[in-house]
Amino acid sequence: MTTIRAASPRSHVAVKRRGRKRTDTRAALGFLTPSALGLTFFVLFPSILAVITSLFNWPTFGDISFAGIANYTKLFAPGSTFPQALLNTILFTVIVVPVNLVLTVSMAFWVASSRLRRLYRVLFFLPVVTPSVASAVIWSMLYQPNGVFSSIALSFGIHLPNLLGSSSTALICVVIMILWQGFGYNLLIFSAAIDQLPDDVLAAASLDGATGFRQLLHIKLPLMTPAIFFASTVTMIQAFQIFSEPYVMTAGGPGNSTTTVVMNVYETAFQGGQLGQAAAPAMVLFVLILVVTLFQWYGQRKWVHYE
């Protein structure tokens, strides 16, 4: 005689859970596949190809030959413009990142307290969606000796020099334009962070006597550190990769005073026709950005508060 045992309720629950996990896994893989393919074909493969290219003499037209690290040693050879381009890129980053963060955090608190905060956010964000080339052309016209800035200064009896034609002022002029263009992005991030500040925490801090600047320094800013960390990382990466603004406004001049690493890569590859030599500074910039980003990532454990 055959005895049939009924399956226990636990086994049914286990089967349902396994089926649900499989469904969730398939759905997750379906959503991740397009991004993974894009990352592979447009980021991973080009990066590997850039590493390989940097080790070869790779002219646009001609024979390809192995060069080893010769392309890297040429970067610091006498007469190379790369050291100046690297210095300018670091200067751009060191100036743009902290100034941008301070201005946008300060303005975000002012905008959050205004009735017209939605209008201000839209107005400040307009330069972000404006093509950088068009913005650079307009700012170049403003900086001209007969431009708006010189005319305003002349009305007060001040004679401005050729701002973009002097090595002592050209870099600062480009920095001002970059700050203006990227201002709205971080402003929007910090405005969203301010809107998400917990009211109960702020109310408790007020009851404890933490008001005004004290509350800002010890309560609000620590709660905003995740947004500050994200904004600082993105702004840093963008500053290292600056290209179109100085290229359009000054073409790297005067005297390479505004030349950046990306401009050096562009000129070597598309004007000089040397893809191998152009890949070398690109890889140096990649490593520099990677190191600084990892430093920020591990450093954020000490000052970023997620709870």
The residue extents of the domains of the chain are 20-66, 73-301
Give the span between the Cα atoms of 190 and 183, in whole angstroms.
Answer: 11
Q: What span, in angstroms and rounded, lies between the C-alpha atoms of 239 and 236?
A: 5
Contacts of 83 (CB under 8 A, 6+ apart): 75, 76
pLDDT tens column, 174-200 = 999 999 999 999 999 999 999 888 888
pLDDT of amino acid 109:
92
Predicted confidence at residue 280, as pLDDT, reads: 94
In the chain, what is the straight-line distance between the N-terminal and C-terminal CA atoms, in Å? 64
The CATH homologous superfamily of the domain defined by 73-301:
MetI-like (1.10.3720.10)
Given a cut of 70, the residues of the chain with pLDDT beneath it are 1-21, 307
The tens digit of pLDDT for each residue in 95-117 reads 999 999 999 999 999 998 888 88
Percent of the chain with pLDDT over 70: 93
